[in-house]
Chain A
């Protein structure tokens, strides 16, 4: 940004709330009309039927009913049922669909998280089949789950995904399942018939599921290990949908605790099986299946909470401005009439915080989804290559990857530095190896996905409380515009389902120390420092300083012991590794928020629609990023300080901690401008034009 441009931008505020033109650039789908159409479909459904269901009090019952079931046919009609499918299966989006699923979840949860869950759950049921199923399984179930085409007379199938079980396991320890499979009969030369016993807990879609993809373990010496298996409602035995879960949130989704005891052919094992020495060996154990599923499905959940925060902005602005209208001492045209509560700095600054947090969460989630879209085909290439090379089993794969790690690190180094032409060819050579690219992207995905699920939902729930608070007494009523109270409570479920916060922290504590990830993180640090010089208002300097402190703290903790001589950094020492994971999430969210602002500044001029308002939007989003960066740097520095200093018996002044103090001091100084950014963002909130009324009912 040159000086002239910068001066010009400092004077301009956004005229309106950001529309699709802005978001398509920031979230990188301006050239994808398939995704833009999916967004419009989901939006019209969300702000139409979904909003009416919420306004009519349909969230006030646990039971599924005919009104809620209208959602399913609406999903079918608007193409959301098939959004997960490839065109040949009845879908309309070619290639990976992570970003598409995220956008749909974002739009639905803008109004109601339960509706989004209902939509996502069908995809979740199909995910194991899509990711690891045999060709026959994919063809059979995908074609039945696609809505009937004109001239076809059949009922659409819907699925449920059953991993979580009643106590004691509850799904937290996903390595252990109490659902069991045994061989019921195995006539010579024929397909074995399995007896499956599975009790589920909190299983979404159970009211209407025609099939269940269930995780089970062997209880028979003639079956090895665990698997995921497909159970159909008409299989012989018991398909008891169970009691409705008495949840207080996400009531537009069906949730029950099913009891399933069924006989099914072994061909229902997802991914198939082989018979070795008279033993059935599933081709994929249940952990392998759910790992590939959850990596993808957890990110849209994180995005759902961010959508809630962003959706809260307009109702809060309207409430703040109209707060005193109609009163005796509030003449039209007076500041009290026009601005209402927005005359007070606190009201608008807190709203700026909410928007900034939602923005950061959305940026992180969309970055993760784009990464997954890039990762999907590479992961499939990897599987093909490994099979072709005869690398079978986790141990052999790990051995090969260990060997490739050095080259992957070299690739990261070359790709991130300005190098000579000769070295470029080496980078190109390394990049041409799908296994290298797989390792690099996997290291990112293994951090970004849990970080998004953890931070967006956890911090998002905290900020939703702020949003509710800004609506005064209205905030806790059923008819609060924007359904903010419902969104606040829904956020808590989003922090819990599909892997609660502890699971995400546990995963992060392991993946964030991968050398492949840390090498990329160091490169991102350099990148942030460069952004600091060109775009200081984004707060990149504060994030860079905090990231540097985080990296130092990690290294310090990894080699240090506490006052009792126990190692500080150990994967079971949650008091150390979990907070450090939390701090990293803040940093990542801010980084992607800043990158989205730069993208808008770079690509915005290409949009003829944005030409007149671009400067205002770039200024405003820079200020929101600057606001959030200040918060991020503060949080990360506080956590690092507690961890670096808090395990000593007394205050110490050793050389190492002097370095810590120096780095922490740089973080503090780098906060310069962050509060000025918040002042400007808050001022913009008093000027921004909002629609006359909310576009969904109360």
Chain B
């Protein structure tokens, strides 16, 4: 009997958040200035889900991880030079736009289609992982739609912890309002888990893992299927960066208690 999980992580690249991001109007709609030239990172929530997947796979022998990424394949290749060193996985690349101005519905269709075609994927052991939101597409709905398309009805959102119980059931901590968690349990896979930050630190780069991953990643990138994600029917009325707010007062000799009181009052506003 097969053991372990088949974990499919959906995650792609976003521009490094430290970069200067300036929206511009391109021929095909809004875009970021110099978007292709900007260094990219793995979408942060998706990255957490990948690290959680690796941790889970390590504890459940026989598990396997796929990373399904929709993005410009040349940029994905650059991204893999870092990500592939973190944890062992097999890449399923889709060559298409990773822009923040793509439509979640179309993205979900492309991702679900690619997952559907993964050879030897055991749906009965499938855990569909991803970020609960994207740093560039923050609608927070993509993973749910991928799950629906794959027929996965047990869905858990903003997850910070997944525990496999002795009876094989899965116990989740989902973030809810007020800084509290909702505890949810399902009998086992298949399930969709849209991760928040989880509890794990970013693994250090390990070139040995990287070299092992890259043997399969490079051919996969060369064979990446084009995935032209359509945005027809969508109109962007305006695109602006979030306004920065900075309210600074210089106060000398305030006690810790006074500072704490003021912060609490500000939070309650």
Given A37-B211, A609-B36, A692-B18, the answer on whether A78 and B81 have CB atoms closer than 8 Å is: no
- Confirm or deny: B37 has a beta carbon within 8 angstroms of a beta carbon on chain A: yes
Given A15-B33, A16-B37, A691-B18, the answer on whether A79 and B205 have CB atoms closer than 8 Å is: yes
Measured CB to CB, the closest approach of chain B to A82, in angstroms, equals 8
- Confirm or deny: A564 has a beta carbon within 8 angstroms of a beta carbon on chain B: no
Encode contact with A along B75-98: 1 for CB under 8 Å, 0 otherwise.
100101110110000000000000
What total count of A-B pairs have CB within 8 Å? 99
Measured CB to CB, the closest approach of chain B to A482, in angstroms, equals 14
- A79 engages B208 (CB within 8 Å): yes
- B204 engages A78 (CB within 8 Å): yes
Measured CB to CB, the closest approach of chain A to B41, in angstroms, equals 11
CB-CB < 8 A to B34: which residues of A?
15-16, 612-613, 689
Measured CB to CB, the closest approach of chain A to B12, in angstroms, equals 15
- Confirm or deny: B198 has a beta carbon within 8 angstroms of a beta carbon on chain A: no
- Confirm or deny: B19 has a beta carbon within 8 angstroms of a beta carbon on chain A: yes
Interface footprint category on B: 20 to 34
CB-CB < 8 A to A16: which residues of B?
19, 34, 37-38
Roughly how many angstroms separate A284 CA and B84 CA in the complex, as a whole number?
43
- Confirm or deny: A162 has a beta carbon within 8 angstroms of a beta carbon on chain B: no
Given A20-B39, A78-B205, A693-B18, the answer on whether A36 and B81 have CB atoms closer than 8 Å is: yes
- Confirm or deny: B210 has a beta carbon within 8 angstroms of a beta carbon on chain A: yes
- B206 engages A79 (CB within 8 Å): yes
CB-CB < 8 A to A92: which residues of B?
207-208, 210-211
CB-CB < 8 A to B37: which residues of A?
15-16, 19, 21, 609-610, 612-613
Measured CB to CB, the closest approach of chain B to A339, in angstroms, equals 15
Roughly how many angstroms separate A695 CA and B210 CA in the complex, as a whole number?
23
- B85 engages A40 (CB within 8 Å): yes
Given A92-B207, A609-B75, A690-B20, the answer on whether A40 and B82 have CB atoms closer than 8 Å is: yes
* Shortest Cβ distance from B84 into A: residue: A37
* Shortest Cβ distance from B210 into A: residue: A37
Measured CB to CB, the closest approach of chain A to B64, in angstroms, equals 19
- A79 engages B72 (CB within 8 Å): no
Those of A9-54 within 8 Å (CB) of chain B: 15-16, 19-21, 33-34, 36-41, 44-45
- B16 engages A40 (CB within 8 Å): no
CB-CB < 8 A to A72: which residues of B?
none
Given A16-B34, A16-B38, A37-B214, the answer on whether A609 and B78 have CB atoms closer than 8 Å is: yes
Those of B10-65 within 8 Å (CB) of chain A: 16, 18-20, 22, 33-34, 36-39
- B204 engages A74 (CB within 8 Å): yes
- A607 engages B20 (CB within 8 Å): no
Roughly how many angstroms separate A20 CA and B36 CA in the complex, as a whole number?
12
- A689 engages B33 (CB within 8 Å): yes
Interface set of B (CB-CB < 8 Å, partner A): 16, 18-20, 22, 33-34, 36-39, 72-75, 78, 80-82, 84-85, 204-208, 210-211, 214, 218
**Additional pairs, 15, CB under 8 Å, beyond known A36-B78, A44-B82, A92-B208:** A15-B34, A19-B39, A21-B37, A33-B218, A34-B207, A37-B84, A37-B205, A78-B205, A79-B206, A611-B36, A612-B34, A612-B36, A613-B34, A613-B37, A692-B19
A-B CB proximity, top 10 nearest: A79-B207, A41-B205, A15-B34, A77-B204, A36-B81, A40-B82, A37-B210, A608-B74, A609-B74, A92-B207
